[in-house]
Structure 1
Amino acid sequence: MKTKYIIYTALALLVAYLVYNKFFSKAAKESAAAQAGGKSGKKKNGPVNVNIMIVKDTAVNNIIDVTGSIDANEKVSLVSQTAGNITGIYFNEGSKVQKGQLLVKVYNQDLEASLQQNQYQVTLAKQVEYRNKVLLQKEAISQEEYDTSLTSLNSLKAAADVIKAQIARTEIRAPFSGTIGLRNVSPGSYLSPAAPIAQLVNIDPAKITFSVPERYLTILGVGSKIRFNTESSRENFTGTVYAIEPSIDVNSRTITVRAKAPNPKGLLTAGSFAKINLTLDQIPKTILLPTEAVIPDLKSSIVYVAHNGVAVSRPVKTDLRTDTRIQIIDGLKPGDSVVVSGLIQMRPKVPLKINKVIK
């Protein structure tokens, strides 16, 4: 029993010695201090690996991206000016028609008969007027009698013009060349005035209508070029500005612009949505940085510049933006070394280790 207690006591002393030697001895304390000092020094004093870009002047096109809509060059809903039964339809839905082509005819036989009757009367009145003219020259009749025959002839001619105008109203013709849409009438049906017959569209060239901010009014003009694309086609299209609204929208502070684009293949459809790339002018000398190098701040924006091996924050003013770059108009000069990577770790006076220089 006594031997058992001696063994337990010896084991307890051995465990106590091992614990002391591991955590509380002088060597253990020195090792822990060295490790802590190493970590602290690495976090505080270790340089950050970065890439830098040498600032230089660059020429850049002043391009803005806006959205707009595609409209037909000419578009009209065909209607009749007179009432009557349709006696003929002379177009196919979705077909091309030429200006002046007869599209629909309304019953007009009564008018044709009236015109024919009038022509007989005109012929007779011409003969009477001619005879009276000869007699007047021979002084066989008075001037009054001749004037009466001449007035009768002119009245009949005027009546003929009225009948011809009424007949013209019974014929619906294409006011311009284009593509005709779906018809809303059938042969034999009764056509009322202003009832829609079909829609006629001319979309070559196509009109592109869009709005731009007021600030670009002075550098945008007739003749400016645009590039655009649509959801329905993978092709890129070009157009030319031909008209600008003379007043600015007071709510959006934008101005409406309209351009024309050739559409010989019919790939552009009226009502489509257009994504427009508008080139306004070219800036010959300016500074462009990658967008990720510019850090938004409360009052402005900042970049970090490498100077004497450490990071220095520099407030900058920005202007134009693209998908990948941003224009710096103040705060940098050519030759500055701007940090373009490792920005999460950037702080003023952080030591830097430059891995790559972008020129």
Structure 2
Amino acid sequence: MPGRRMIIMLSLVLSVVLMLAGYKTYWIYQQLQRLHGPTPPVSVATSNAFEIPWQRQMPAAGTLKALQGINLSTEVPGVVTQLHFESGQRVEAGQTLLQLEHQTQQAELDVAKADQRLARQNFERGRKLVDISAISKGEFDRLGAELNRNTALVAQRTAALEKKHITAPFTGTIGIRQVNVGDYLQSTQVIASLQDTRRLYVDFYVPEQAVQLIRIGQPVQVEVSARPGTFSLAEVSAINPIVDDSTRNVLVRATLPNQRDDLLPGMFAHLRVLLDEPTAQTVIQESAIAFNPYGQYVYVITRGNNGEPQASDNGDTPQLIAEQRLIETGERRNGLVVVSKGLSKGEQVVTAGQLKLKHGTPVRISIDRSQPDGQPMPHQEGAE
């Protein structure tokens, strides 16, 4: 009996060991199958490389300046008696803006004119008398000098009187008034600013290496903070013939029309100098580019190995493969990058999910609405 029980117990233990060994063997087989089996496709977002007209641009920063702009002031001191303008008013060239107290200068001018008239009468009498030798030639010369002296004195008094009022030297918009009637003005005291903003200058600097790319008449896109996303079109009108020895930059000036009068002198401007005519270039989304020690690369979607169709596990559709490809890029703008080498128009590149990929990884394309195939170019406002 004891021997039979021992045999039964050993049989049970052996059965359990065999079952555990079989389960472990099956589990190892499954892991080996999973390890050597096909990799499940990785979900990625893609977009196509497309071709658009592309114009090279040079970015710069500049400042708007009025075509003509001054601070109005007086040459002589005096009390303000009349004001002929309001703040923000548009004035014409030659329009009287301000009058100072001028009674003393007017009286001095009247006296000088009276002396001039008397000197002219004496000179005319002397002309007749010298012809009949009633007076000497020297006396006649003295009468002529007296007339010239009084004429010059009239011109001097007239100029002094004219300095008692200010006129607009050019047509423009006057700024906020700084004086009132009755104020006593010192010489050179600012009354208001006068700006001609029908056209504006845009002054900016470019590196000395880039001067050879700039020419007179070249178009420049101008954007200001008051109108973000809207570009006005200016033209290069002057290039400074000297390089700043402290910054090694060259001052360039562009002229910008301002018919709507919505741009003001002093505004900061973002500029894009258009360097050449647009040419067709292949571009991709900037998010498609990745980096490694060898340079820039993208993952291109291909069908199977080496672009040959390869059936999927269920045999329905060809499997999509991510091919890692080195590229050379050019200018970047508005989320787009020019690809100069390594990619062709129409090829499909991965724009999201690159971290999960390596060369030859199977992929499945998912929709990513945040990555459009193209972006609208910035609105340009040309000169009227």
Structure 2 distance, partners of 1:174, 1:318, is 55
Query: Is the counterpart of residue 136 in structure 1 residue 130 in structure 2?
Result: yes
Query: Is the counterpart of residue 180 in structure 1 residue 174 in structure 2?
Result: yes
For residues 175-226 of structure 1, give each alpha carbon's deviation from its aligned partner in whole angstroms, at most 9, with x where no partner exists: 2211112222221221111112112122111222233444432222221222
Cα 1:31–1:178 change in 2 (3 A) is same
* Unpaired segments ≥5 residues, structure 1: 1-9
Cα 1:354–1:279 change in 2 (3 A) is farther
Structure 1 distance, partners of 2:238, 2:118, is 57
User: 2:350 maps to which residue?
Assistant: 340
Q: 1:228, 1:277 within 8 Å by CA — same for their partners in 2?
A: yes
Selected match of 2:332 from 321, 335, 351: 321
Structure 1 distance, partners of 2:247, 2:101, is 52
Selected match of 1:296 from 291, 298, 302: 291
Cα distance, 1:353 vs. partner?
A: 5.8
Aligned to 2:142, the other structure's residue is in SS state helix
Selected match of 1:153 from 143, 147, 151: 147
Cα 1:135–1:50 change in 2 (3 A) is same
Counting only pairs closer than 5 Å after superposition, residues 172-321 of structure 1 correspond to structure 2 as: 172-233=166-227, 236-249=231-244, 253-282=248-277, 284=279, 286-298=281-293, 300-304=295-299, 308-309=306-307, 313-321=324-332
Cα distance, 1:127 vs. partner?
A: 1.2
Cα 1:21–1:232 change in 2 (3 A) is farther
Cα distance, 1:116 vs. partner?
A: 0.7
* Unpaired segments ≥5 residues, structure 2: 1-8, 308-320, 367-372, 374-384
Aligned to 1:282, the other structure's residue is in SS state coil
For residues 3-33 of structure 1, give each alpha carbon's deviation from its aligned partner in whole angstroms, at most 9, with x where no partner exists: xxxxxxx9xx99x9998687x241x224322
User: 1:7 maps to which residue?
Assistant: none
Q: 2:39, 2:362 within 8 Å by CA — same for their partners in 1?
A: no
Cα 1:284–1:182 change in 2 (3 A) is closer
Cα distance, 1:268 vs. partner?
A: 0.9
Structure 1 distance, partners of 2:277, 2:339, is 15
Cα distance, 1:277 vs. partner?
A: 3.5
Q: 2:219, 2:273 within 8 Å by CA — same for their partners in 1?
A: yes
Cα-Cα RMSD: 3.5
For residues 24-45 of structure 1, give each alpha carbon's deviation from its aligned partner in whole angstroms, at most 9, with x where no partner exists: 241x224322432343235x75
Aligned to 1:133, the other structure's residue is in SS state helix
Greater Cα offset, 99-108 or 202-211: 202-211
Selected match of 1:170 from 156, 164, 171: 164
Structure 2 distance, partners of 1:66, 1:19, is 81
Greater Cα offset, 44-53 or 273-282: 44-53
Cα 1:37–1:153 change in 2 (3 A) is same
Q: 2:65, 2:203 within 8 Å by CA — same for their partners in 1?
A: yes
Tell me the amino acid that sits aligned with residue 106 of structure 2.
E
How high is the TM-score relative to the length of structure 2? 0.75
Aligned to 2:277, the other structure's residue is in SS state strand
For residues 206-257 of structure 1, give each alpha carbon's deviation from its aligned partner in whole angstroms, at most 9, with x where no partner exists: 2222334444322222212223333334654222221223334456554332
Selected match of 2:97 from 87, 100, 103: 103
Cα distance, 1:148 vs. partner?
A: 1.1
Structure 2 distance, partners of 1:335, 1:189, is 73
Greater Cα offset, 51-60 or 108-117: 51-60
Selected match of 2:121 from 110, 120, 127: 127
Cα 1:286–1:216 change in 2 (3 A) is farther
Cα 1:160–1:335 change in 2 (3 A) is closer
For residues 123-169 of structure 1, give each alpha carbon's deviation from its aligned partner in whole angstroms, at most 9, with x where no partner exists: 11111111221223334333222211111101100011111111111
Aligned to 1:146, the other structure's residue is in SS state helix
Aligned to 1:40, the other structure's residue is in SS state helix
Structure 2 distance, partners of 1:249, 1:347, is 50
Structure 2 distance, partners of 1:41, 1:319, is 42
How high is the TM-score relative to the length of structure 1? 0.80
Q: 1:50, 1:352 within 8 Å by CA — same for their partners in 2?
A: no
Tell me the amino acid that sits aligned with residue 308 of structure 1.
N
Cα 1:300–1:245 change in 2 (3 A) is farther
